[in-house]
Structures are given as C-alpha cells and as structure tokens.
Structure 1
Amino acid sequence: MEKPIGVLDSGVGGLTVVKSIQKILPHEDIIYFGDSKNVPYGNRDEEEIYRLTMAMLKYFEKRDVKMVAIACNTISTMADRFRDKFDFPIVDIISPTVDHIENMGINKMVILGTDFTIRTKAYERLLRERRKDYEISSEKSPRLAELVDKGDYRSREIYDTISGHLQSISQMGNFYNIVLACTHYPIVEDVFLELDPTLNYINPGFQQAKAMRMVLHAQGTLKKEGKGTLQILTSGFPEIYKAVVEKLEMLEAEDIKTIEIPPYKE
C-alpha cells in the first residue's frame, strides 16, 4: 500500500497548497491537518509554535506518511528545527518561493505575511543569500489569516483589512510584485485583484508543490498511477474547510472531520 503525503497548517490556508498538489501530483493520497483551534500561529511566540507543530508532525509520523509539507509560512521560518527529528522529508514553503523569485529575475518585491513571518525576516534573509541587491519591503498583517479562517470571504472586515495593506504598500514606492507569504491569503486573492488588479501576486503554494514533486521523484516514491485521495482533519470546525474546498474548486475530499491530537511533550 502506498504511503500518503501529510500537509499541515495553522488552519484552512494550507488548502491552497493542496490544490496545487492535486494538480502537480494527481496520483498522491493526501492527509491534511489544519489546527484551526489555535489559529493564528503568526501572533504566537516561537516555542509555542514549535510545540503545536511537533504535535502535528508526531501525528503524521503515526500515520506513516512518506513526506510532510509545511503549508504555513510562519512554521516554515523554523523548518530546520524539525527536519532532523523525523525519518520522512519535510518540505517548507519559503525555500521553493525564493528559488522561484530568483529564477524569474524578480528584483523588487513586498513580502506580505503574519507578524511572526515578517519579524523573522526569513524571506529577506534567504533572498539576500542569493543576491545582495534585492529591493525588499515588508508588510505585516496581524489579522488577515484569522479573518480568512472564519470563512466569511466577502466580509467588510476582510475588504477593509486588505485595502489597508494595499494602501500601505502603495506608500512604500513603486512595487509590482507582492508575495502572499501566508497560505490563507490566496483564498481571498480575488479580493486582492478586485481592489488592485495592477499588481502581481505571487502564490508560494504552487512553488512548494513543484518542490515536493522533485523530492518524491529523487527518492523514488512518486506515485505515478491511480486517483489520489484527500482526507481533511482539523482541530476546529469542518464546515469552514468544506467552504474552502468549494471556493477553490478543489477535488472533493473523501472525509472532513474534527479530531484531537495529543499535545507534544519533550
């Protein structure tokens, strides 16, 4: 029996990555866990994020996955803390996006992310390791991920929050490329485009899915036939996940339910 892929996030945002996985890796079975009970991670401290993530990774270890994708920019800023603790490969979302930015020859960008992601300067640090002359600005959003996880994607709060960020970005200078550095944000990319269709919004999830394919191919575990399945698990309410699956026009999940996973203990 083929082993599944595990995908984790602080909430519904990682489903934007799953949509890309279903396109690029159509034969793979996916188990998704969204920790909506504890969203947003981006407003928590590093040790709390570490413990919450370790609990999810330990759960995937028990499910005998062949790989885990960290479909969360906040957690991905500390991905190196997890890699040597598990036998399966762990693919973060930041490194493949930096590769994409470099390969596309993008010189100037704004990183829009959670408070934690912006504070760590993870994107900026990795980009400047490649080139010193990148022009990078950042915009932090303490609220947008939490608002998206509530499931009301056309709410006035979401419009006002995104509008405020775009106004702030416009005052930074002549920026065209905006990295949506939280997987929740592409769920409401239509709102971004409605408010300002002139900007180029970069979705890191697609780049992560391509990186996952490369890893699976390299280790000889790429599934090449059969129809992939999707199981969605959450510590929160499953109705929100059903709404996101419908909004993103994803392949239907076989199961969407709430579960409890044991807290992590050293």
Structure 2
Amino acid sequence: MDTQAHPHNSTYAPIGIFDSGYGGLTVFKSIKETLPQYDYIYLGDNARAPYGNRSFETIYQYTFQAVEWFFKQGCPLVILACNTASAKALRSIQQKKLPFMDNPDNRILGVIRPTTEILGTCTNTGHIGILGTHGTVQSNSYPIEMSKFWPGVTVHQLACPMWVPLIENNEHNTPGADYFINKYLDELLAADNKIDTILLACTHYPLIQEKIEKRVGPSIKILSQGDIVAQSLQQYLQRHPQMNARISKNSTLDFFTTEQPDNFNSKASLFFGNEVNASNVHFSSGY
C-alpha cells in the first residue's frame, strides 16, 4: 500500500493516471504525446479488474483507495482514465472532504465530461451511439451529461460485455472476436439507423477501432477518447496556471499495478505502444 514512487524527492509532483486495468494506457499514451514534459504515475488496479460489472459501492471504494494512494505519492492532479470509475465514483469523491487531501487545491478529473463537451460538435444527424461497459451504460452518465451540453442530440447506448475480455486476452484479432464486434455494432445501428457518430466509451476499445470502422463504413465517425482527454487536459492546465506550476516536469513515467508486474508489463505494452516496467502496489481488501 505504501509503495512510493520517488520518496526521496520532495519536488516530485506528478500527474496521477488511474484505470481499473490496461485501458487507461490508451488515454495515457495520448496525454504523454501531447504533454511530454510532465511527470506521470500510472496505476492499474488489475488485481480487481474489470470494474464494468461491479456495484457502485465497490467501484467507489476501489477508486477512493487509488485516489488516496495517488495523493500520498504527491500528485496534485489525478485523472480517472476509466469510464466506469468516472461514471460511478468521480462525483462522490469530488463532493466529499477527503481526509487524506493535504491540499484542498488538489483535483480529480474524469473522462466523461471532457468527452461530452465536444461530442455534440461531431454529429450532423444529431444521433450519437455510445458503446461501453455495463457499469458505464447503467450509470447513464453519458446521456445525463449530453443533455446538459447538447439537449437536442439523441443518444443511444449499448453495453458490449465481451469486448474487454477479448482484448485483455489478446483475442481481439481473431475471427471469433469479429463475431462479437459485428454483433454489438449491428445491434446499435438497428436500434437507431440515424447514428452518424459512435463514441468508444471504454478505453480498451481503441484496440479494435480499425475493425469497428471497417464494419460500419466511412459514413459513421468513430471517436476514441485519448486525444479528446489529452487536449482537454492541456486546456485545463492553461486555464489553471497555479495547478500547472505545482506539477513537476522531468518527463518521468512510473507505472504501478495491483497484480504481478511481469503479467502487467507483458500486456501493457500492447495498449501503451512502448515497453512498460511496473512495480506492485497492494491494497488491502478491507476498507
């Protein structure tokens, strides 16, 4: 639990990036490419993934533990690069006065709001499809946020429970995966044939984006979240110079996982695009 990234360095103040597993690495990859000068810590709670089918209370507890850990590492800013955690835990954590938050100016950001802020600009028909986990879909976070920014846009959601396990087991390039990719896409488009924009509201899904694009054809725009979140973070730091000044800038990357690092490292490079060398963090199951 108390594994420290750079305990010897009091000026180390990285941006924390959290995901239930590997998917957040696709967001992290875009953030690192857009903002390479910052220090980053990535934590994947792989030992307890996937979050998609867990209860609100469980996801809240797991996410709370992770956020607590990040602040103890000296992170002034934590990004929940996980749609399920953003949907089910972010607001509750933001609204509580957290005992471990030494600095009330520390911040936690999610991926849903920056995505919905721009989503309405991407459609011509005013019909958008959202593909995600059961947890994200059941939370209704996307339709709720979309109704605030884009009340005229029709949103149709669909849970794709088979996609994450196929990707995490490196089966997503097989003919068996094609069956499940096509099944969900056909179901979504049958429910609303005016959809011209589909959001991949799970950070694993960029790994099958090419297959999705091939299935739906060029008339439907497929959006993944990495670049959206990276650009939003860049704008956030420009708007908040005090936060920007608190974050250390040595271009260091530290990776942590709650499972065996060897296992994490072998899969993580698939999502991140570069070799990853993680350390283990253990969270007690009690709370």
Name the TM-score, length of structure 1 as normaliser.
Answer: 0.88
- Distance in 2, matches of 1:105 and 1:166, equals 18
2:84 matches 1:74 = yes
- Distance in 1, matches of 2:271 and 2:235, equals 28
* Cα RMSD (Å): 2.3
Amino acid at match of 2:224: N
Range moving further from structure 2, 230-239 or 117-126: 230-239
1:101 matched to which residue of 2?
119
Q: Cα gap change, 1:28/1:151 in structure 2, threshold over 3 Å: closer, same or farther? A: farther
CA drift at 1:89: 0.7
1:4 matched to which residue of 2?
14
> Unmatched 5+ residue regions in structure 2?
1-10
Range moving further from structure 2, 15-24 or 186-195: 186-195
Counterpart pick for 2:196 among 176, 183, 194: 176
> Unmatched 5+ residue regions in structure 1?
none
Q: Cα gap change, 1:135/1:230 in structure 2, threshold over 3 Å: closer, same or farther? A: same
State how 1:141-180 maps to structure 2 within 5 Å. Answer: 141-172=160-191, 173-180=193-200
Q: Cα gap change, 1:111/1:247 in structure 2, threshold over 3 Å: closer, same or farther? A: closer
Deviation string for 1:48-78 (max 9, x for gaps)?
Answer: 1111111111111211112100011111113
2:242 matches 1:220 = yes
Residue 254 of structure 2 contacts residue 278 of structure 2 at CA under 8 Å; is this kept in 1? yes
CA drift at 1:143: 2.6
- Distance in 2, matches of 1:247 and 1:129, equals 32
CA drift at 1:232: 1.7
- Distance in 1, matches of 2:28 and 2:170, equals 18
- Distance in 2, matches of 1:262 and 1:94, equals 28
1:245 matched to which residue of 2?
269
SS in 2 for 1:222: helix
Range moving further from structure 2, 171-180 or 108-117: 171-180
Counterpart pick for 2:255 among 232, 237, 254: 232
CA drift at 1:97: 0.4
Name the TM-score, length of structure 2 as normaliser.
Answer: 0.82
SS in 1 for 2:208: helix
2:39 matches 1:29 = yes
- Distance in 2, matches of 1:102 and 1:170, equals 18
Q: Cα gap change, 1:138/1:60 in structure 2, threshold over 3 Å: closer, same or farther? A: same
Q: Cα gap change, 1:225/1:47 in structure 2, threshold over 3 Å: closer, same or farther? A: closer
- Distance in 2, matches of 1:140 and 1:203, equals 16
Amino acid at match of 1:211: S
Q: Cα gap change, 1:31/1:157 in structure 2, threshold over 3 Å: closer, same or farther? A: farther
2:138 matches 1:114 = no
Residue 180 of structure 1 contacts residue 186 of structure 1 at CA under 8 Å; is this kept in 2? yes
- Distance in 1, matches of 2:271 and 2:60, equals 30
2:4 matched to which residue of 1?
none
CA drift at 1:230: 1.6
1:257 matched to which residue of 2?
279
Highest Rg: 1 or 2? Answer: 2
Deviation string for 1:142-199 (max 9, x for gaps)?
Answer: 2322332233432444322212111212312132211101111112223323433423
Counterpart pick for 2:51 among 41, 62, 81: 41
- Distance in 2, matches of 1:243 and 1:112, equals 23
- Distance in 1, matches of 2:128 and 2:152, equals 12
Range moving further from structure 2, 168-177 or 7-16: 168-177
Residue 55 of structure 1 contacts residue 263 of structure 1 at CA under 8 Å; is this kept in 2? no
CA drift at 1:220: 2.7
